[in-house]
Structure 1
């Protein structure tokens, strides 16, 4: 009963959340604070008095909602307060408590109000850039605001154009109130992040807003224009390395995590699989602009990279993006192996300096394979009982006053022991043989020295109907006698997804084995065509 009660209380734990419509404001702005509970509360309410130290609370109200959908009951209670800041700086909305549930605190950034030449203006529109010059592909933030008194009946404005640039909306349309020259204006705000792709002067045309406004008893047609804006787009600095990918950002970082196939195994052996995940984080760049990182096979290491994944999220100061590079790494030889360092140059747009993000070289200590094919072969089956542990070797047991066994019983027990030993020996041999074949398959490089499974094959020619594992073994056997194909770049390229399928569980591309067979059969025909005729005798017989 106690366990049921604990689970029931946990499933119905109350939650309380605080939300605001704008976390970066100016003096005079009016923002809305919502405190939302996932339960009904009739007597208790948040203590908005705690806000009055840093904000003027203009008013508050409460609402509730209950609904039943497909037999599932849910209810919410919401408290709304409107307030305006008393001071600039980083102000804090505290955590509220209602019926034992606590909400999250929030920080609000408040700056000085700009001077508006809007004396007695009913409507006006404002456009601004967060900088007057930027490098090619650097992030620039554009804000567009429409202010009005009275009640807006309808209106329209076209999205701004930024020439040859990548454009991403930074946040959806926001509405709030702002106090200017003693009057409360309703404000519509749109924000965009754009990334110029060409150097030179970029002109952003004025934005037009048209609509209708009701002021008192009068209905007015309105038409407002913003000012034209100009951005100077700079070329890549000459001090940036010429061979590096140009990457202007506010911040760049590299990090990595490692995971082994067997998390309980502290040692790394030949044939084991390691998963390496590298994370590239950027502030002030879109995920599509982040460069690719190259991962090539290194001595003793086979690397199978996955397709990179990108994520991005809008923030107050621009886009934060992330690019994930995930790969499987399989050691193919024992010893001390080193993964090269990864270095990424980038341009800090805040300090105007060249910086470098780096992951240091990684050293791996690789032990021989656990099922090494070079281990000595087991003794013949006839000698196996002498090598068995004592626990499996029958011993004579003497029991006082025990009646003697009959001949039939003795023969039956002897036969049973022989059957058990024979079955154990057969299973041991089969298990060792299978492990040996799997180890050789995982470790066999495509070269003359490849360790080829001794398993005989009936395929005298390339057969695409084999299983991928048998096909891979056949190719390795075939290449031992075909030195001209061992370093063929096209064949190496085709074998790479086959190995990724066998060792990294990736999907096998359609028709891959047929393509490999076609390529293997081509050199045979070519060699016959290119065979030179025998040299004629120096002294032909007359």
Structure 2
């Protein structure tokens, strides 16, 4: 009785394997549909194309959509169903379309092996026609200040994300402006706002943009993509699925004027510029042969630290001086960039008498009043007295000297070090307890941080044609998979030992570092990565660390 049952099971499995292994290209239907029609301006449209056959991912040509839409890399899925011994297969492409403008557009028919889909006419409403409708999520960009600025003048660009639902995660690209320096200012600010009678939660991110040449330009707005949880509140369904949303901010045109012809000096445009000085030790009288330190601080608002010029200190011949390399630094204060440049000079008087240090003048352009101003460090007069020990030799050298007057107490040193160590550990514990929760809007991670690999982030980078993010996730995956430091895609391609995945990794490397850049699609890369399986030998090598590592 057992033997006939075993034989029937055996033949059924053989038949099932043969059915699934047969290549299926006999497509009979091809259907296209969109998730919304009409759509609002700045809103993403999801286009789904379905075929009743198991097909290759690149068999569908979607380049014809790029005439009216920005097309994200599609996600491709394949499925097989067996019902009552009948096998059915299907292939599905999902596109995210972002219309370039409002109007009525036609999504053309697709064709595969002679089978065509029906064209779809899509209407995109203008922004003015959609303001009264309650939107689930939208993005706005604004400039803080005038849209007419001078070259190398810093302007602040705010991006505000409005959302009324549950935002699970999000990613915001950076704005783009040709020939400009763009950097993020401060941290994201969360809040709320009332728009057309609807209460929205908001996330605000600020950028500083510094144009490096004059002319008329348009700031290409950032693109936000994220997941919003869909919940049916009427049925109290709190386990609903999430949907992907995509919104783009409004473009902003600016006019960059050249440096005024009547400006004299090194061009510096800022909101405020000051010059201050400090003397160490602080005194109004100098002594021949005794060194003092002069510290001049140049501070500016709405300026990057790299824009600050050097100062011309015209010191009299009665002084010998030793100037250190200027130290520049920048910080964010109340949403504005503040930069400082510190000039440190060691000064030694050679002879007694009265000594006058001339004033230091730095011309700059006031971006608030649109006129030239001068930052002045006033002149200063010192009285120099003779050295108490007689004449000072000309070859005096200022060097620090360490004199030991008594034996070193090692117990005292260890006790002090222990106290410092305990204080440091206590500060770490306090910082860990008071650490604030992170925002749902992801930011660009620091290179020195050690982050875990995320499959979802790799898939998203491949689907949205983001080669840089895909490379970052692949390198993190390589370090996790092979238990070693992976520094390049080329090194990773040698470690995987798979020709298909290695070829896709090399394509990604050429896209990032090659001389020519073309449209990159990450579908094939993600599929090759997903199909990759480590060999048994490689697995054993990963588990056993080398006894004598090089």
Q: Which has the higher contact order (CA 8 A, sep 6+)?
A: 2
Q: TM-score, normalised by structure 2?
A: 0.45
Q: TM-score, normalised by structure 1?
A: 0.46
From the CA coordinates, give the structure whose radius of gyration is larger: 1
